[in-house]
Amino acid sequence: MSLADELLADLEDEELVEETEQDGGEGLEEVDEQLPSMSVYDRVGSVAKLLGNQNYKDLINKMQEQLNLKEIPPVTKPLEADPQYKLIVELSGLAAEVDQELNVIHKFVRDKYEKRFPELESLVPNALEYLATVKLLGNDISTKGQNKQILSEILAPATCIVVSVTASTTQGKALEPDELAAVQEACDMAEQLHTDRLNMYQLVESRMALIAPNLCEILGAGTAAMIVAKAGGLAPLARLPACNVLILGAQKKTLSGFSSTAVLPHAGFLFFHPIVQGVPPDLRQKASRLLAAKTTLAARVDFIHESSDGSIGKSLFEQIKQKIEKMLEPPPVKAAKPLPKPLDKASKKRGGRRVRKMKERLGMTELRKKSNRMNFGELAEDVIQENMGFSLGQALSGPSSGSRIRSATIDPKTRARMSQKLQKTMERQRSMGGVTSIRSRAAGTASSVTFTPVLGLEIVNPTVKPDHVGSSSTTYFSPSASFVKVQTPMLRH
């Protein structure tokens, strides 16, 4: 195949790929049209149907009846058959459905309202705060968005400033009247669901001692109700591990470009419990993990209906307090180790003839002793006139008049000595005519240059011994001699 044919084949392949992509794009468009989208629905009732559910209405009516009672009726039947317990269990499961419904409404409002204020979604990530802000602003974001006093009732002060600045510069378009009405309806529905959820919390809190007595002993009725409702009931809570119980109720913080040092990760309901907040900040994370572990144990005990009097919960709570007290204890003081008692007895010293001779040999010489002495009434001259007070003392004092010369006597004990090995080396060199650094027996006129009959000068090394090879020096194991093989004649028969 030539180069032109290869280029034509490549062009045909590219055309086939483009046709395939066009066919695939048409198929994708058809699939996208079939997928449901929140922007397709005009009313929130088409996507959020929990508020119109008859079962939901019946449970809310029963909840209102229980809340209107002045006194809590006692439990006269087994716990599983008691209507209050059944209602609490159903409401705990309904709380999870309410949270899911609020997320659906938040998605619906976000898709509708991004036409008017597209930046609000990133500024206010919390669903309830976002819905309340949308209901407040409506179409008039230029006026109401600048009213920080109204916004501060819903949002944090830092978020209010960011929302106000962004509202004045947004490029969104105003909503149509029917679109605005649909958004307001969705916000009202979310507000109603949130109110019902708060009432569920209130009822579960008042009846929590019936369904989870051990959990109430540790956390209290309020926190226990929030934990149970957030988990979706006591049974789901008992199945959760402690690491997941720890983050129940954690909310995503709004940074809005500010520092993230104050953001607490994994801070749920348990982190803000009074037990955890009562310890120093550096120990709160550890205390919250401890509380989550004991909460999980108490929830599992309540799930199997053991210890209805809450005795296990009290025991777990005591363990929590003991461990927290152990955390707060200061580290033990490091005791100062005293020095050992000094012993007054004399230390053992080596002795003997050898040691005495060594001390005499290494002792102070007579000349050194004289340098440390000075004559009375005489002015001594300093050495080199540099160090004042440093002189040679009596070592430089001359003979006195009318007396014979007195010189320092040399003690043979302190005289410098040579080792036996050095003495043997010097003796060997002396016998060979060698010269040492100490002395030499050769005269100063002696030379290693000799005159020989060869009519020249010959330099002789006296240390090299002549190699005499002769019969006198030959031994049985001589390196120059060889073995002699003796042939024995064979006998003939």
Examine the pLDDT at 12 and tell me if it is beyond 80: no
| CA 410/CA 415 separation, integer angstroms | 7
For the record, the structure tokens of 167 come out as: 């509202």
21 domain-assigned: no
Tell me how far apart the 2 most distant CA atoms of the chain are, in Å. Answer: 152
What pLDDT does residue 467 have?
58
Which pLDDT tens digit goes with each residue over 169-186?
A: 888 888 888 988 899 999
Q: Which of 114, 99, 123, 119 is nearest to 183 (CA)?
A: 114
Beta-bridge partner residues of 452: 456
Q: Which of 188, 213, 273, 182 is nearest to 88 (CA)?
A: 213
Which pLDDT tens digit goes with each residue over 108-127?
A: 999 988 888 888 888 888 88
Measured N-to-C along each axis, helices 127-137 and 83-113 cross at an angle, to the nearest 10 degrees, of: 50
369 domain-assigned: no
Which pLDDT tens digit goes with each residue over 211-244?
A: 788 998 998 887 888 888 788 778 888 999 999 9
Examine the pLDDT at 20 and tell me if it is beyond 50: no
322 domain-assigned: yes
Non-local (6+) Cβ contacts of 317 within 8 A are 217, 218, 294
58 domain-assigned: no
Binning the chain into helix, strand and coil, the percentages to the nearest 5 are 55, 0, 45
| CA 305/CA 113 separation, integer angstroms | 48
Examine the pLDDT at 6 and tell me if it is beyond 70: no
Q: Are 163 and 133 in contact (CB under 8 A)?
A: yes
Which pLDDT tens digit goes with each residue over 273-286?
A: 889 988 998 999 99
Higher pLDDT, 490 or 430: 430
Non-local (6+) Cβ contacts of 427 within 8 A are none
**How many domains, the chain?**
1
319 domain-assigned: yes
Half-sphere exposure of 337 (CA within 13 A, CB side): 1
Q: Which of 318, 232, 216 is nearest to 273 (CA)?
A: 216
| CA 336/CA 268 separation, integer angstroms | 45
Average pLDDT value over all residues in the chain? 76
393 secondary structure, DSSP code: G
83 domain-assigned: no
Q: Which of 173, 164, 123, 120 is nearest to 142 (CA)?
A: 164
Examine the pLDDT at 378 and tell me if it is beyond 60: yes
| CA 59/CA 199 separation, integer angstroms | 12
Give, in degrees to the nearest 5, the angle at Cα 165 between 153 and 102. 50
Examine the pLDDT at 33 and tell me if it is beyond 90: no
20 domain-assigned: no
| CA 83/CA 85 separation, integer angstroms | 5
Residue ranges making up the domain that contains 272: 212-253+267-330
What pLDDT does residue 19 have?
46
What pLDDT does residue 17 have?
42
Beta-bridge partner residues of 449: 459
260 domain-assigned: no
CATH code at 293? 1.10.246.90
Task: Report CA dihedral (181, 186, 192, 195) to the nearest 10 degrees.
Answer: -130
Q: What is the pTM of this model?
A: 0.50
Examine the pLDDT at 253 and tell me if it is beyond 60: no
330-334 contacts: CB < 8 A, separation 24 or more?
none
Residue 114: CB atoms within 10 A of its CB come to 14
What pLDDT does residue 291 have?
93
What pLDDT does residue 481 have?
61
| CA 137/CA 143 separation, integer angstroms | 9
| CA 107/CA 381 separation, integer angstroms | 107
Q: Are 88 and 63 in contact (CB under 8 A)?
A: no
Phi-psi region of 483 (alpha: psi -120 to 50; beta: other; left: phi over 0): beta
* H helix runs in 174-283, sequence order: 177-206, 208-211, 213-219, 221-231, 234-239, 242-246, 274-277
| CA 224/CA 46 separation, integer angstroms | 35
For the record, the structure tokens of 376 come out as: 């009375």
b (16+ CB within 10 A) / e for 6-42: eeeeeeeeeeeeeeeeeeeeeeeeeeeeeeeebeebe
Model confidence at 337, pLDDT cuts 50, 70, 90, reads confident
What pLDDT does residue 208 have?
79
Higher pLDDT, 456 or 264: 264
Which pLDDT tens digit goes with each residue over 455-489?
A: 666 666 656 655 555 555 556 666 666 666 666 66
Higher pLDDT, 71 or 38: 71
| Type and span of the H or E element at 85 | helix 83-113
Q: Which residue has the tokens 């830092």?
A: 158
Give, in degrees to the nearest 5, the angle at Cα 224 between 91 and 51. 25
Residue 433: CB atoms within 10 A of its CB come to 14
For the record, the structure tokens of 113 come out as: 């309202």
